[in-house]
Amino acid sequence: MRLFTPARDRALCRDALLIDTRRLARPLFLDAATPLEPVVEALLDRIALMGRSPLPVRGHAFALFFGAREGRSLFALTEPFHDGLVAALLDALAAFGAARAGGAEHLAAAALTPLLGLHEGRVVFFDSLATRPFHVLARRRSLRILGATPSHAPDRDVEVGGVPAPEYVGRCA
């Protein structure tokens, strides 16, 4: 399955993406008690800049998830891992405190929320209850705002090719 499969969120009346969460993810830890908004803003700026760059990362598709673990902010980048992208994200996080990358772990087990992605050469922002505080940041950068649903726990309002996502995932697994 591709990382992103185009879909439609009927509840939000907007385009969405089904995200393949059977992949591994590289956790990026921020060991600082920093409000999340400036951190997300820095990551948005860095990824938007990289999305316009002629560097090799431009051709890659990835999703960036976020959450918390053990009192630390946690971000996770989907595989395949591009060293330049991991380094750039760690550099952006390091502006707020000690940042480090962890070993690869299963994305579905990480219990994180989709935040950003690079899809078809464009940076996209994923709409969810957890990301609503960052909508202003996404709109300010004219990012495309999409619904998102993980393949391991799909939203029943999301349809892939006219079929609800849970049925689609069952047929493709």
Q: Is 101 exposed, middle or buried (0-12, 13-18, 19+ CB in 10 A)?
A: middle
Provide, rounded to the nearest whole percent, the portion of the chain with pLDDT above 70.
88
Across residues 96-116, what is the average pLDDT? 92
User: What integer pLDDT is reported at residue 173 of this predicted model?
Assistant: 33
Domain residue spans in the chain?
A: 4-172
Q: Is 73 exposed, middle or buried (0-12, 13-18, 19+ CB in 10 A)?
A: buried
pLDDT at residue 116 is higher than 70: yes
| 3-state secondary structure (DSSP) of residue 26 | strand
Across residues 54-59, what is the average pLDDT? 59
**Residue 65 binned pLDDT confidence (cut-offs 50, 70, 90):** very high
d(CA 5, CA 144): 16
* pLDDT, greater one: 1 or 104: 104
> Is residue 113 within 8 Å of 125, Cβ to Cβ?
no
Across residues 14-35, what is the average pLDDT? 90
Q: What is the per-residue burial (b if ≥16 Cβ within 10 Å, else e) of 143-162?
A: beebbbbbbeebbebbbbee
User: What integer pLDDT is reported at residue 48 of this predicted model?
Assistant: 80
User: What integer pLDDT is reported at residue 26 of this predicted model?
Assistant: 94
Q: Would you say the C-alpha torsion 39, 17, 170, 128 has a positive or negative sign?
A: positive
- Residue 57 carries which DSSP code? G
d(CA 167, CA 165): 5
